[in-house]
Amino acid sequence: MSGAPPADRPPTEPPSREGGFVRRIGPFQATAINMSQMCGIGPFVTIPLMVAAFGGPQAVIGFIAGALLALADGLVWAELSAAMPGSGGSYVYLRQAFQYRTGRLMPFLFVWTAMLFIPIGMSTGIVGFVQYLGYLAPGMGRTTGDLIGLGVIALVVALLWRGIEHIARITAVMWAVMITSVGLVVLASLTHFDADMAFTYPSHAFELTSNHFWIGFAGGLTIGIYDYLGYNTAAYLGAEIKDPGRTLPRAIVFSILGIMTIYLLLQIGTLGVIDWHRMTDPGDIASTSVASAVLEETWGKGPANVITVLILITAFASVFAGLLGGSRVPYDAARDRVFFRPYARLHPRHRFPTLGLATMGVVTSAGFLLGRHTDLATLIQLLTAVMVLVQALAQILALTVLRRRQPALRRPYRMWLYPLPSLIALTGWLVIYGYADKNSPGRHPIEWSLAWVALGCAAFVVWARREKVWPFGPREISEEYLTAAEGPGGDPDGPAPDEPEPEPVPRG
């Protein structure tokens, strides 16, 4: 890498060590990226699902539980991302933590599963997009909806096919639209709020000794954490974040707290306007477009149409931010020879991973069609079940492993009350996974997730044999972030631009 900064960057701005990426995303933009991904179409389509899971307005429990899990897991992300601000997020953390015993197996499995669960998460946003579009075009057929959804995905990929400096500006604008759309729904609900409707619960709503309550709680927790997913999006862009040691932890925590406040206002406000029984009726518009139903009930049809358009923009922004972050995952892995080598290519001018973005677009399209021809709840259960094993649980363990293996690693942020947040996150993820089959009868998300991981292990064996790495060669230990912390000046971005990057040290 040349020591001279690119012509479009001020000479005082340090380059990233991540293969040509530059640090252009600041604190506000990082938080906006997270919040745009978190508060996309999610709450607007999952409020009815949450009510159905709990069987009444006590569904607000699900959003509170989801917030607690997101905050606990977010602190795991905060410590790891601040210490290792590389492109790829979890891939970087798992690679560093588990290289000592299993070589490249864990980062390979993460990329293998991320290529599935990240775009599936984005496909739920497109399903919701088409669902709300149906409010504006009630006569829209299934085939038309399918084609529109695929067209939206193609548009997202086309917009991302450019430099990160343009993307940061677009994301900030979309974040403002998201805040406006949610704020208007909350305001409309508060102007016509009925406390009796919102806080009158069915009998046995809080019967903690009932198995039905805990199945509903697990289902609600799954939906809740799905709505909060995205607090880690900026971490995937670690190589493009300014002052990542401070920016990333703050962006994670601030985005979770901000979205938690928004969700609670949105959930309680909606329940104070729309009778929860309507949300469980498949023939009622409140079951598919509940925010539009709130506006229609309070301010009339015209404002309902306007808010529906804003929600569509919000959904678009969520998918935009998610594919932006997700496309960096296979790039970093391929660059480090832990995934298929073609994914290591960057666009020659705009410096973004071309094949990673294209693949994410294709898988998002497939997930969208799957969701359209099954149901949204099934899609959510499938993506969380796959994600839990190789990302959520493995990353919690990685934090502890790294504290023991690399105690000298520079940690600009250290988890508050360690290890309590890790234990809370571990418990929450295990509840979600353990109840997945019961909350998706006949779909077998647990079995499918295990099968996908097993297939990934088989693929790793084939790949490792071809690449002649562990278990068919020596383990290669590369403590690059530890070396950077111990280097001259303790620069977390690694060696100076004109210094060669240290080669991995093979160990038997």
**All domains of the chain, ordered by start, with CATH?**
27-446 (1.20.1740.10)
Through-space distance between the first and last CA atoms of the chain, rounded to whole angstroms: 31
Round to whole Å and give the CA distance between 314 and 196: 31
- Residue keyed to tokens 């579009």: 133
Q: Tell me, what's the pLDDT at 164? A: 56
Round to whole Å and give the CA distance between 465 and 450: 23
Is residue 135 within 8 Å of 289, Cβ to Cβ?
yes
Q: Tell me, what's the pLDDT at 166? A: 57
Q: Tell me, what's the pLDDT at 250? A: 95
> Digits of tens for pLDDT over the chain (508 positions)?
333 333 333 333 334 445 456 787 889 889 988 887 787 778 888 999 999 989 899 999 998 999 999 999 999 999 999 999 987 788 889 989 999 999 999 989 998 998 888 898 889 889 999 989 999 998 888 889 999 999 999 998 888 887 555 566 666 777 788 788 888 999 999 899 999 999 989 888 888 888 888 888 999 999 999 989 889 888 888 888 989 999 999 999 999 999 999 889 999 999 999 999 999 998 888 988 999 999 999 999 999 999 999 889 888 877 887 787 777 778 877 887 888 778 878 767 766 788 888 888 999 999 999 888 887 888 888 888 888 988 999 999 999 999 999 999 999 999 999 999 999 999 999 999 999 988 888 888 999 899 999 999 998 998 898 888 899 988 888 888 887 655 443 444 444 333 344 444 444 3
The pair phi, psi for residue 477, each rounded to 5°, is -95, 120
Q: Tell me, what's the pLDDT at 25? A: 85
Output the CA torsion 272→273→277→283 (10° steps).
-150
Q: 290: how many CB neighbours lie within 10 A of its CB?
A: 26
Q: Which helix (H) or strand (E) holds 404?
A: helix 394-405
Is residue 68 within 8 Å of 253, Cβ to Cβ?
no
What is the DSSP code string of 169-228?
HHHHHHHHHHHHHHHHHHHHHHHT--HHHHH---TTTT-TT-HHHHHHHHHHHHHHHHHH
Round to whole Å and give the CA distance between 139 and 97: 53
What is the DSSP code string of 9-57?
S-TTSPBPSSTT-B--B-HHHHHHHHHHHHTSSHHHHHHHHHHHHHTSG
Collect all residues with Cβ–Cβ distance below 8 Å to 161 and sequence separation of at least 6: 347, 350, 352, 357
- In one-letter notation, the amino acid at residue 347 is H
The conformational region for residue 38 under phi > 0 = left, psi -120 to 50 = alpha, else beta, is: alpha
Short-list 332, 363, 361, 368, CA closest to 161: 361
- Residue keyed to tokens 């040349």: 2
Tokens of 123: 């496909």
Tokens of 450: 């295990």
Short-list 449, 40, 485, CA closest to 233: 40
Q: Tell me, what's the pLDDT at 421? A: 97
Is residue 377 within 8 Å of 440, Cβ to Cβ?
yes
Tokens of 225: 């954490």
Beta strands in 228-283, from DSSP E residues, in sequence order: none
Is residue 125 within 8 Å of 42, Cβ to Cβ?
yes
Tokens of 42: 């999610």
Q: Tell me, what's the pLDDT at 308? A: 93
Collect all residues with Cβ–Cβ distance below 8 Å to 169 and sequence separation of at least 6: none
Helix (H, G, I), strand (E, B) or coil at 131: helix
Kind of pairing between the strands at 505-507 and 475-477: antiparallel
Round to whole Å and give the CA distance between 300 and 311: 17
Q: Tell me, what's the pLDDT at 167? A: 60
The conformational region for residue 353 under phi > 0 = left, psi -120 to 50 = alpha, else beta, is: beta
